[in-house]
Amino acid sequence: MPDGSICCTSCYSQPESSAAATPSVSTFQGPATSTPGRGCPQHPLLPPVAFCKTCGKGSCVTCDFFFPPNLHLCPVCVATAHTKLTPQRKKYMVTGFVMAAVASLAIVIMMSGALASIVDNPIAIIVLGAIMIFLVAVPAAIGSGVAWAAYRPGGPNSIGIWISMIWNLLLLGAVVLLLIINALN
């Protein structure tokens, strides 16, 4: 309060006697301490109440920056503009590349005709085609999804995120185009 009195942070009511409710520095016990290395970087003896969405460090009540709906940032991440990829976004981007590589390998095998000598009847050709489409479409769809998860609208996005997203979407488009061509024949 402006006059120096204390109020409850939950209901904003004042205690009966503000002099009795005001703790002195010598009698204040403080919150439970945290284990070394696990607490707030600014206040190592205080336990973290939230973890930074960007760097993963814990923040105490004083240092936690909360943004709705459920975004917690530490003071360092709030003060700096992040142009690098966070570890989570980098993981999504790499997963997108892996899925695109798997789908590309499957489409190369399918288009090369390397498996044509294995099949000898029309039903086997249909089953093999369905398996190969599954091996192309599913990884390309997963890769598109994780690349989209790495994308930050209005924020910095590396060229790797764009390549991963476009590569997977092109593979998905190729599958759809091959299915349309097959349906027309």
All structural domains of the chain with their residue ranges: 87-184
Is the predicted pLDDT of residue 112 greater than 50, yes or no?
A: yes
Range in 9-18, 68-77, 91-100, 144-153 the model is least confident about: 9-18
Distance CA 99, CA 93 (A): 10
Closest C-alpha among 42, 34, 37, 39 to residue 50: 39
Range in 39-48, 77-86, 150-159 the model is least confident about: 77-86
pTM here is 0.53
Closest C-alpha among 32, 42, 37, 80 to residue 64: 42
Neighbours of 65 (CB within 10 A): 15
pLDDT tens-digit series, residues 138-152: 999 999 999 999 888
Residue 134: predicted pLDDT:
86
Residue 21: predicted pLDDT:
46
Is the predicted pLDDT of residue 95 greater than 50, yes or no?
A: yes
Q: Which two tokens stand for residue 34?
A: 């945290």
How would you label 137-171 residue by residue, b for 16+ Cβ within 10 Å and e otherwise?
bbbbbbbbebbebbbeeeeebeebbeebbebbbeb
Select the highest-mean-pLDDT range: 20-24, 44-48, 159-163.
Answer: 159-163
Mean pLDDT over residues 27-45, rounded? 60
Mean pLDDT over residues 121-148, rounded? 86
